[in-house]
Structure 1
Amino acid sequence: MSELRTVVVTGASGDIGVSLVRRCLEQGAAVLAQYRSRPQRLAELTGFDDRLVLVRADLATEQGPGELAAAVPGDWPGVDLLVNCVGGARPVPIEELSAAEFSACMRSNVEAPFAVLRALLGQLADAGGSVVNLSSVAGFTGGAFGPHYAAAKAAVIGLTRSAARELGPRGIRVNCVAPGPVDSEMTDSLSASALQGLLATTALGRVVRPGEIADSILSLSRATATTGQTVVVDGGRYLH
């Protein structure tokens, strides 16, 4: 699918989500943007009222993914692109990490994208659409946010590969983007020394801009022979 007509973005009020929604709208797509909090960040996207659908839902709950799927406009000919930006975590050292916080991180970063993908399978198949999940280089390197986040983002890569194999015969591609440190509220939660340590081993020596992640997502969504892949966008931190 070279032209994106309909796009669903989860976690749309985050830094990457807002940038992606804006780019999709500017390119003429209709966008359903899911958020749990901070709706004002999406309300700032003015001038697209006829193509932007805002849906408040908590995807970490059992009913949230179904609420999102039910909100897909009935006149859409399917979903061309689903981007799972939902997720995140706060940095916690292993000795301070509770089982409850570990489980909550897995719910928001792994279980929610899985549940949304499952809920939208029919619409994705109708459009011959694709899925892009957001992982992190932490899924490869461990990272500064702690074992809960690294484990969750590694699981997203596994989910992506498995879904790509199973859904390929139905015409659905599933890929993954793994950002490094991004200019975002989440990276801002790191200590200055931790961030400096990350950037010291990054080839470009800087954080990645949200718009650069959005551009990579859209490029991957149009790569019609690519599925099951994880594209690292981290300024040269994880070289492989």
Structure 2
Amino acid sequence: MTLQGKRVLITGASGDLGRAMAHRFLGLGADLALQYRSNAAGLEPVLDAAKEAGREAFAVAADLADAGGAERLAAAVQERWTELDGLVNNAGGARPQAFDAIAPEEWEQSLRLNLTAPFRLMQLLLPELKARAGAVVNISSVAALTGGAFGPSYAAGKAGLIGLTRSAARDLGPHGVRVNALAPGPVESEMTSSLAGPVLDGIIASTALRRLVGPGEIADAAAFLLAAGTAVTGQTLTVDAGRHFS
């Protein structure tokens, strides 16, 4: 499996999953555009690794939960690259909330981050993806299938992302662009560590393997979907230690 010379944009690159994917893609020979919201320090090891490997990597600050954030990110990437081999829509998140505690503005912000931003980035970067018959990997969540522990706005956004993946795969396939989704969970991350101990213990106990998923395992799956160069499109690959069986 190789990504040699491929240009890949990763959103949410400074988080646990984003960094794992960035290091994995670098190891496979990719050049990287790395979106982050505020944790620039989290990307320093990735940028250092890229320099050491002789690969191109640059960081772009953009808040994808804000209106216009996706547009600013796309413009920054297009300023550097006229062609794109891969887009990984990884930025996302939520905080656990009861159903009746979610304010309308929080609902809208969550959907902008988890669903609208991936849609806009695919739309805005389509010319660059078409130029290289590129691939898109949308990072959904097993919460889209189970309801999850992070509340309805997160589950709804991630479920919508699976629907978007299927629709985009049909529309973009004639252009040679493949679109797939990953449904991770529960992953060793800052997000899962925010859950109350008994809640997390219950989630782990519900998995067939009785463990969390490592970020590196998600990175390997994403690399496969980017590098496959096969007829795989419109699919959702669940990597969740056996929490949900479809």
The bucket for the TM-score relative to the shorter chain is: over 0.9
Cα distance in 2 for residues equivalent to 1:121 and 1:26 = 26
Shift of 1:63: 2.7
Matched position secondary structure for 2:153 = helix
Shift of 1:74: 5.7
Cα distance in 2 for residues equivalent to 1:74 and 1:107 = 24
- RMSD of aligned C-alpha atoms? 1.6
Shift of 1:73: 6.2
Structure 2, unaligned runs of 5 or more: none
Provide the residue aligned with 1:87 in structure 2: 92
Provide the residue aligned with 1:155 in structure 2: 160
Provide the residue aligned with 2:129 in structure 1: 124
Classify 1:77/1:104 alpha carbon distance in 2 versus 1 (closer, same or farther; 3 Å). Answer: closer
Map 1:223-238; keep pairs closer than 5 Å.
223=228, 224-238=230-244
Judge conservation of contact 2:3–2:29 (CA < 8 Å) in 1: no
Map 1:124-203; keep pairs closer than 5 Å.
124-203=129-208
Provide the residue aligned with 2:50 in structure 1: 48
Cα distance in 2 for residues equivalent to 1:177 and 1:208 = 13
Judge conservation of contact 2:2–2:28 (CA < 8 Å) in 1: no
Matched position secondary structure for 1:213 = helix
TM-score (norm 2): 0.93
Matched position secondary structure for 1:44 = helix
Cα distance in 2 for residues equivalent to 1:233 and 1:47 = 27
**Residue type matched to 1:35 in 2?**
Y
Give the fraction of aligned pairs with identical amino acids, expressed as a percent: 50
Judge conservation of contact 1:77–1:127 (CA < 8 Å) in 2: no
Shift of 1:169: 0.4
1:11 aligns with 2:12: yes
**Residue type matched to 2:104 in 1?**
A
Aligned residues: 240
More helix by share: 2
Judge conservation of contact 1:65–1:112 (CA < 8 Å) in 2: yes
Shift of 1:69: 2.0
Residues 155-199 of structure 1: CA deviation (Å, up to 9, x unaligned): 000010010000000110100000011100000111111111111
Cα distance in 1 for residues equivalent to 2:162 and 2:69 = 22
Cα distance in 1 for residues equivalent to 2:124 and 2:44 = 26
Residues 55-100 of structure 1: CA deviation (Å, up to 9, x unaligned): 1112233332222222226674611110000111011111222222
Cα distance in 1 for residues equivalent to 2:105 and 2:38 = 21
Map 1:105-116; keep pairs closer than 5 Å.
105-116=110-121
